[in-house]
Structure 1
C-alpha cells in the first residue's frame, strides 16, 4: 500500500484548520493509499490591510516553516491560508516556487487550489463568505475580476473581524445565516474563504439543505484537494465533505 505524507503550513494563531484538516484526512477510505498530515507554523496574529499585517506573509518565515516539514520528508506542502486573496494570486505562485526551490517538494495553496477548481468546473462567478473587513473582500473581488471570475456585490458577506483568535469563535449559526443569505441572493457556488473559520464541517449540510445545485468550496478543504492532486491521489477517497471531493 502506498503511503503519502501531506505537509500543511499554518498561521500561528489559527486553531481551526488543524482539527478540520485532520478530520478530513481521517475520513479517507482507500485500500490503495494511507495518508497522514503534518503541520508547521509561522507567526500570523492579525488579518487586515496594514503594512504590519501584510509583513506577516513575507517569505522567509514561511520558508523556515517549510524546511521543518521537509525534515519529515512530506510528499507535498500546502499553504492553508487565503492571503493571496488580497495580496494577489502572483504572491502564491511565487511562494510555491520558492518553497519548491528551498525544499525540492511540490507546493500548493488554498487559493491556487480554489482557482484550479473554478477553472476545472468552468465556474465564472461565485459568492464570498469571510470574517474579514469589507475592504479586504473588495480586494478579493477585484483580484478575481482580473482573471475573469465575478463575485457579485450581492453575493459577498463579511464580519469585519481582524483578530484571528476571534475568527475561530465565529459560530456555525452565524455561518449558516451568511451562507443562506448568499444563496438566497442567487449564488449557486460560494466559498467560505478563510482557514480559521470552522466551516468545512458544514459544507455537506449546506449543499444538501440548499439543493444539489449549490456548491460550497471551503478553503481548508481546497488545499487538501490540491495537495492530493499534486501527489496523484484520487480526491474521491475523501468521504463526507461535500461535492468538491465527489468529482474527478
Structure 2
C-alpha cells in the first residue's frame, strides 16, 4: 500500500469516527464543545482535498471551529490562473456568508499569490479582511514571512504546475532576496490531479537536483500530500520541508495566540 493510500485510509477513518461521534451528541453538548474555540474561515479551491485532510489528521479540528468555503478553481493553466480568477469578485459570495459566521481569522489556503506575487496577495487579503470583518492570512505571504524569520538564503522549490507558472513562482520568491534552487515541476494543469502526486514522485524529482547546501524545500501547492507527510519527506531529503498548508495554519495559530 502506498503512502498516499495509507493517508487516505487514515483520513477516512478519522472522518467516519468524528461523524459518528457528532451524530450521538445533542445540540447542547455540541455547542459546549465549540464554545470558546477560535473560529476560522478557510477558503480553498474547489477540487482541493488535502487541506481538509490536513485539518482532520493534524488535530486542528479539535482545537479550532473550522468553516470551509470553496472557490471555483478547476485548473491552473497559463490562461486560467491569472488575477481575474483570484480577484475579489470571485470571493464576494463566500465573504458575504463568512461575515455572518463572525470568524477570528480568514485563511486563503491557495497558492495563487506565489505566481501572482506578494503585492497581489497582500491587496487581496486586505479586501478579504474588510469584507469578512476579520484578519486574513494567505499562503504565499505566510511562506515569505517564515523564510525571512528563518534567515535562509537558499531554498529548494518543487511544484506540480506547468512551466510558465513554475517559473513565475521562482521569480516571485527570488524577488524577496532568496536564492531558489529549481527542484523541478510536473507540468500538471488539472487541480484535482495535484492531489494524486505521491511522496515518491516528489522525492524522485527533488533528489535528482538536491544539493547539500539546501536547508529547506518548499513543495508549492496546497493540494499535495506533503501537508500531512512533511516530516516523512524531510527525513528522506535530509532537510526541512516547509509546506504552504502547514505554514499558513501555524501562522494563523500564532496570530490567535498573540491576541
TM-score (norm. length: structure 1): 0.83
Number of the residue aligned with 2:229: 202
Structure 1 pair 36/59, CA: closer, same or farther in 2 (3 Å)? Answer: same
Contact 2:139 2:245 in 1 (8 A): yes
Structure having the higher Rg: 2
CA deviation map 1:73-96 (0-9, x unaligned): 221001001111111111110011
Give the distance between the partners of 2:115 and 2:103, measured in 1 at CA.
Answer: 28
Number of the residue aligned with 1:222: 247
2:203 maps to 1:176 = yes
Aligned length: 224
Secondary structure of the residue aligned to 1:96 is: helix
List alignment gaps of at least 5 residues for structure 1: 29-33, 235-248
Give the distance between the partners of 2:97 and 2:195, measured in 1 at CA.
Answer: 25
Number of the residue aligned with 2:32: none
Secondary structure of the residue aligned to 1:147 is: coil
> RMSD of the alignment, in Å?
2.1
Q: Which of 79, 104, 112 matches 2:108?
A: 79
2:55 maps to 1:21 = yes
Q: Which of 122, 138, 143 matches 1:93?
A: 122
State the 4+ residue runs in structure 1 displaced beyond 6 angstroms. Answer: none
CA deviation map 1:142-194 (0-9, x unaligned): 11121111212xx3310000011211111222123234334346422110100
Contact 2:69 2:94 in 1 (8 A): yes
Number of the residue aligned with 1:57: 86
Q: Which of 2, 5, 9 matches 2:43?
A: 9
Give the distance between the partners of 1:173 and 1:138, measured in 2 at CA.
Answer: 23
Secondary structure of the residue aligned to 2:75 is: coil
CA deviation map 1:199-230 (0-9, x unaligned): 1122111223344xx11000111110121122
How is 1:152-163 mapped onto 2 (pairs within 5 angstroms)? Answer: 152=181, 155-163=182-190
Give the distance between the partners of 2:52 and 2:258, measured in 1 at CA.
Answer: 21
Q: Which stretch of the first structure deviates more once superposed, 72-81 or 185-194?
A: 185-194
TM-score (norm. length: structure 2): 0.79
